[in-house]
Structure 1
Amino acid sequence: MSAFPSPDNQLTRSVATFICGTEAAALPSDVVALGKKSILDGLGLALSGSVARSGDYVRRHLADLNLSAGPATVIGSNLKVAPRFAAFANGVGIHADDYDDTQLAVAKDRVYGLLTHPTAPALPAALAMGETTGASGRQVMLAYHLGVEVECKIAEAIDPRHYQTGFHSTATCGTFAAASASAKLMGLDLETTLRALSIAGSQSAGLRENFGTMTKPFHAGRSSESGVAAAQFASYGWTATDKILEAPRGFFRAAGGGYDETAILGKLGAPWTFAEPGISIKPHPSGSLTHPGMTEMLRLIREHDIKAQDVERVRIGTNQNMPNALIHHRPTNELQAKFSMEFCMAILLLEGKAGLHEFTDEVVMRPDVQAMIEKVDFVVDDDAERAGYDKMTTIIDITLKDGRKISGRADFGKGSPANPMSYDEVADKFRECATYAGLSRDKADSVVAMVRDLEELPTVERLLALLSR
């Protein structure tokens, strides 16, 4: 990687050209199908997130703003507000349970956690601006894909220092996703889209020290809101630089210290990130770095009929970057538990499952859960380290009280491209989230059917109406 590529490469202009020049016909059929799974997943998570405590606070904030009625739906409520605030609310909702999809890495130095949760910033902006402009399902789908692609390629290109020293890439790179999707739906020309990206770059923010608190989903909501606002301000004529990404004082150097221009120049849509290396959908509402281990632990429990009362000790070994994100070793609430490898292993041993109902404060603080957490050692393992940071290699060693040892290893979890969830499996997850939020089965089934044929919808108004209270 060159820390200081040429500032004359017109990188930001190439991104804006991609946004303005790409039409729905350019989306390969496999990318469309993969995107529909993530869109359905995001809608379900916006529903379940609406009944989280953070959802109550978001609606209180919207009330405190004394907003007049707007055109954009806040999912899981009866509110319609200005598009930027709908994007904020729905972005918080999608990320509230840390149950949303995850970008995969290409290069071996691209730590999984360095990359993004692509749907949380991109989809709320596309929905809010699509509803506002009366866009068709096909247009909203295209805007969503453009946002995800820009976000993911920016995250792939920036130096790993960006994440390792504390930036939350979903928040920082996600702002560009929301600006891209909004600019496309607003029909902004090339120069105006350039300025939208630059305004978005000056709003990129979010620090990983807030993982395990409500401020992590706040990052996703604010990045989506900021991207919408950036496109709107650009449309007014607001001025900004035309090289926010590549300039010596621009995003890549200020936020990362450098970037790999070969990871983004000429790579947008070539291939689409959804196709290669792919986007992973979560089967559990916890940090994605826990999922290979959780998938393997479930397999071991079922194959060997492991009972919690028979467990003496558990050793979980990973590369050094995974503990850098899974920072809560003795969690005391549900948000910390999402970033605790120890809790995730403990709850599977005790309950054999880890869904929305297991990630609650009450469950986390149960005496048997806390006692099992104490039996789990989360360490850096040399073999996992050698596997490379583009994998989430997790090595499990379970010692039973009778002296037996059971071991397993996984690089990828269920829901990854290596072990994907089908549309029907994602639909089951959507229904779980919908039921959790109190949506009727009939409405949930209608949403599943509509997203399957999203490109046929004349507008997204009926879809969003089904997701309202």
Structure 2
Amino acid sequence: MATVLQSIAAQVMSRKTFSGIAVARARDAITDTVGCMIAGAADATPQAVVGAFVGDIRTDGASLLVTGGRASPPLAALINATAAHCLDFDDNFHPARAHASAVLVPALLAVATADASISGPQLVAAYLAGLEAQALIGFGVNPSHYNRGWHGTSTVGCIGAAAGVAHLLGLAADRVAQAMVLAASMAAGPKGQFGTAAKPFHAGMAARNAVEAAFLSRAGLTGRPDILERPQGFLDLFGGDDAVGWSGSYSDGAHVIETRGLVTKLHPCCASTHRAVDAALDLQNEHGFSLDEVVRIETKVGRSAYDNLAYPDPVDEMQARFSMQYCLAVALLQGRLSPSDFTPDAVSGSPARQYMAKITMHAYSAEEERGVERLPHQVSVTLQDGRMLHSERLHARGSIACPLAEEEKRSKFTDCLRWAGIEGEETHSVLAALGDVPSVREALEGMVR
């Protein structure tokens, strides 16, 4: 009987064609993630990783670095994925409770930019394979795994991304399974690191581990193929009290990117703030109030979101991304959030600070959440004139239930490049066409030149 990872490998490798919507969403995710990589390249976190391994970075290395130069594929994946995630502007993937693309895209590009024979269609197919693997693993352990305190980006994301890299390397299904087996031994990352530079480093180490696991599988290294479900395996150790495990069918036939999709972030901060921010902006747009007219704002969020947002009075930009009070106050003061709101000077000197004490946050109880995959985040606003306004959102803007318009996605990409001091028109054109090119390496090298 096939193990869970063998079944997942068989499923993702059985897909030879993809729908137009699956391909389009994959291409959008790749473009969006590279934009986030470029925006984050000069940030202190990936620059610290560069500094740690500067001796291994050369002009003639195998894989392109978003920070400049070239390095081995594992090191390129580490640096580029850290850059992709450091501004917390990269997409979310609910089935894995992970920043799926921030791990997957840099890992795949680390391999693709080292091998001129890898084409755009191969990159897209490998992305879809890795994303599906993340979902199928996540379905067995989430939300219990995530609520227990594990960062799905660096656990589920690492294992699933290994399948995507193995797919890109052209490995057979049994070696794809073994890549995930080996990645399961590398999966780690506590959510207690949220609000620090270690959190984006989680994405980096997951991407590096995915590449190394696939390379090791290609070289013949093996582990137990039942490592997810066996005693002292991933489910046993990482699942949490309410994890359901894996049984029955792994798919209804459609690809998960069609049915569940990704959430393309509109705000450069923790996704746990997004539904409340969107709901509050909905109320402001409808009723036209200012923060000076507000007596108090009460928010109610899921337990995991409450735990993630641990900084009611943030002292730096990393903490500010995980502060409901800061993100909500800035959004209502300005009508939006942007990368410029998350710098040390912006956080310490923001006029929004005078309003943060008006904002409180509460969590659903364990009983309210039991048996429910997802509950709406709620916002209640009390105004000085006595009005009490209420709104809630089950899905954030950027989800497939509430997708961004094409101009909004393009505007986000342009903002990312402007943040990096780059004009974006030509860069966007290259990335938008990346899924068609005969050589990913040559296309990206041309863009760099």
Alignment root-mean-square deviation, CA: 2.4
Report deviation, 1:28. 1.4
Q: Match of 2:73?
A: 83
Q: Which amino acid aligns with 1:132?
A: A
Q: Which amino acid aligns with 2:38?
A: L
Equivalent of residue 158 in structure 1, options 136, 141, 144: 141
Q: CA, structure 1 residues 254+319, in 2 after alignment: closer, same or farther (shift >3 Å)?
A: closer
Q: CA, structure 1 residues 121+445, in 2 after alignment: closer, same or farther (shift >3 Å)?
A: closer
Q: Which amino acid aligns with 1:83?
A: P
Q: Match of 1:289?
A: 272
Equivalent of residue 219 in structure 1, options 202, 212, 219: 202
The 8 Å contact of residues 330 and 340 in structure 1, kept in 2 or not, is answered as yes
Q: CA, structure 1 residues 276+384, in 2 after alignment: closer, same or farther (shift >3 Å)?
A: farther
SS of equivalent residue, structure 2 residue 299:
strand
The 8 Å contact of residues 27 and 432 in structure 2, kept in 1 or not, is answered as no
Q: Match of 2:385?
A: 402
Equivalent of residue 8 in structure 2, options 6, 15, 22: 15
Q: CA, structure 1 residues 386+232, in 2 after alignment: closer, same or farther (shift >3 Å)?
A: closer
Q: Say if 2:330 is the partner of 1:347.
A: yes
Q: CA, structure 1 residues 13+308, in 2 after alignment: closer, same or farther (shift >3 Å)?
A: same
Report how many aligned residue pairs link the two structures.
447
In structure 2, what is the Cα distance between the partners aligned to 1:304 and 1:383? 33
Q: CA, structure 1 residues 73+52, in 2 after alignment: closer, same or farther (shift >3 Å)?
A: same
Q: Match of 2:100?
A: 118
In structure 2, what is the Cα distance between the partners aligned to 1:120 and 1:449? 17
Q: Match of 1:361?
A: 344
Q: Match of 1:260?
A: 244
Report deviation, 1:251. 1.6
Report deviation, 1:29. 1.3
Report deviation, 1:382. 7.2
Q: CA, structure 1 residues 37+355, in 2 after alignment: closer, same or farther (shift >3 Å)?
A: same
Report deviation, 1:467. 5.5
Q: Which amino acid aligns with 1:459?
A: S
In structure 1, what is the Cα distance between the partners aligned to 2:279 and 2:173? 48
The 8 Å contact of residues 12 and 132 in structure 2, kept in 1 or not, is answered as no
In structure 1, what is the Cα distance between the partners aligned to 2:121 and 2:432? 15
In structure 2, what is the Cα distance between the partners aligned to 1:249 and 1:56? 37
Equivalent of residue 61 in structure 2, options 41, 48, 70: 70
In structure 1, what is the Cα distance between the partners aligned to 2:315 and 2:49? 24
Q: CA, structure 1 residues 121+66, in 2 after alignment: closer, same or farther (shift >3 Å)?
A: closer
In structure 1, what is the Cα distance between the partners aligned to 2:50 and 2:192? 25
Deviations 1:160-213 (A, max 9, x none): 432222211110011112211221121222333232221111000101000011
Q: Match of 1:422?
A: 405
TM-score by length of 2: 0.92
Report deviation, 1:409. 1.8
The 8 Å contact of residues 450 and 463 in structure 1, kept in 2 or not, is answered as no
Deviations 1:347-370 (A, max 9, x none): 012222111111222222226322
Q: CA, structure 1 residues 267+397, in 2 after alignment: closer, same or farther (shift >3 Å)?
A: same
Q: Identity, % of aligned pairs? A: 28
Q: Which amino acid aligns with 2:257?
A: F
The 8 Å contact of residues 87 and 268 in structure 2, kept in 1 or not, is answered as yes
In structure 1, what is the Cα distance between the partners aligned to 2:433 and 2:407? 13
Q: CA, structure 1 residues 304+463, in 2 after alignment: closer, same or farther (shift >3 Å)?
A: farther
In structure 2, what is the Cα distance between the partners aligned to 1:448 and 1:68? 23
Higher RCO structure (Cα 8 Å, ≥6 apart): 1
Deviations 1:327-351 (A, max 9, x none): 2222111111111111111101222
Q: CA, structure 1 residues 465+66, in 2 after alignment: closer, same or farther (shift >3 Å)?
A: closer
Q: Say if 2:148 is the partner of 1:148.
A: no
Q: Match of 1:54?
A: 45
In structure 1, what is the Cα distance between the partners aligned to 2:134 and 2:322? 23
Q: CA, structure 1 residues 65+157, in 2 after alignment: closer, same or farther (shift >3 Å)?
A: same
In structure 1, what is the Cα distance between the partners aligned to 2:369 and 2:148? 22
Report deviation, 1:123. 0.9
Q: CA, structure 1 residues 196+466, in 2 after alignment: closer, same or farther (shift >3 Å)?
A: same
In structure 2, what is the Cα distance between the partners aligned to 1:448 and 1:53? 25
The 8 Å contact of residues 319 and 381 in structure 1, kept in 2 or not, is answered as yes
SS of equivalent residue, structure 1 residue 433:
helix
Q: Match of 1:325?
A: 308
The 8 Å contact of residues 289 and 392 in structure 1, kept in 2 or not, is answered as no
Q: Which amino acid aligns with 1:220?
A: A
TM-score by length of 1: 0.89
Deviations 1:276-330 (A, max 9, x none): 1221111001111211111121122222221222222111122333202222222
What does 1:446-461 correspond to in 2, within 5 Å? 446-451=429-434, 454=435, 456-461=436-441
Q: Which amino acid aligns with 1:457?
A: V
Equivalent of residue 93 in structure 1, options 74, 79, 83: 83
SS of equivalent residue, structure 1 residue 244:
coil
Q: Say if 2:225 is the partner of 1:234.
A: no
SS of equivalent residue, structure 1 residue 399:
strand
